[in-house]
Amino acid sequence: MSQPIVSKELQNELESAMAPMKRRRFMTITAHAALVLGVGSLVSSCSKHPVTDVSPGKVLSASQVAFFTHFSRILLPTEGTAMAPLESVPVIANLDHLFSLMDAKVRSDLGTVVDLFEHAPLVSGWHFSRFSRLSPTEAVDYIDSWQSGHPIQQGIITVLKKLVYASYWREEVTWKPLEFDGPVSVKWGLPSLGEAPLPAREKV
């Protein structure tokens, strides 16, 4: 059984993480993405293993499915650990469903973010390879370079991580290795207060 992702709360977190990319900065990053994607299309057309071999989701494109599949394996190296195997958790299906619940504008912005991160290695010295084709070691180094890079890069990698982690850890099968038996709000039957304001301090 999986726990529903509170899409509005997560969407608010994603929008906050993308705040550095708003307005002019996002227009600049979109222009950079167009340039990178142009190079990416040229290189991909010469590849022996086109991304179109991957089936698209209901909302996610085939290239986005390929990206998140590789990105999830890098973020969640479950093999040889007590963690629930990545193959047993519907991460991609959960991501696809999560994207379908988002506002069209947010979904479009995230698509630009994914495309930029996926194709940036083609022009940034990472062996002329899109991210989904980097080796695990190269992929980790690439992610680390974004985490310590420009604030826009840090915002992008934060957003992508939130999406994958939310889609993995929502599944109850992933909780047992952590000895986590579920949210106390569910166990104790506590009603959700949403974004209720904090109690006001009484005057003395």
Domain assignment present for 201: no
Which range among 2-6, 93-97, 126-130 has the greatest average pLDDT? Answer: 93-97
pLDDT of residue 67: 96
Average pLDDT over residues 107-134: 84
- 37 with 61: CB under 8 angstroms? no
Domain assignment present for 16: yes
**Residue whose entry in the numeric block shows the structure tokens 């890098």:** 74
pLDDT of residue 49: 44
Domain assignment present for 60: yes
Domain assignment present for 199: no
- 111 with 18: CB under 8 angstroms? no
Domain assignment present for 200: no
Q: What is the pLDDT confidence band of residue 143, given thresholds at 50, 70 and 90?
A: very high
Q: What is the pLDDT confidence band of residue 190, given thresholds at 50, 70 and 90?
A: confident
Domain assignment present for 102: yes
Q: What is the pLDDT confidence band of residue 132, given thresholds at 50, 70 and 90?
A: very high
Q: Is the pLDDT of residue 79 over 60?
A: yes
Tell me how many domains the chain contains: 1
Domain assignment present for 66: yes
pLDDT of residue 200: 65
Q: Which residue has the higher pLDDT, 128 or 73?
A: 73
DSSP 82-113: SSPPGGGS-HHHHHHHHHHHS-HHHHHHHHHH
Q: Is the pLDDT of residue 34 over 50?
A: no
Q: Which residue has the higher pLDDT, 191 or 164?
A: 164
pLDDT tens digits, 35-53: 444 444 444 444 444 455 6
Show the domain range for 146: 7-187
Domain assignment present for 198: no
Side-chain-side CA neighbours of 11 within 13 Å: the count stands at 15
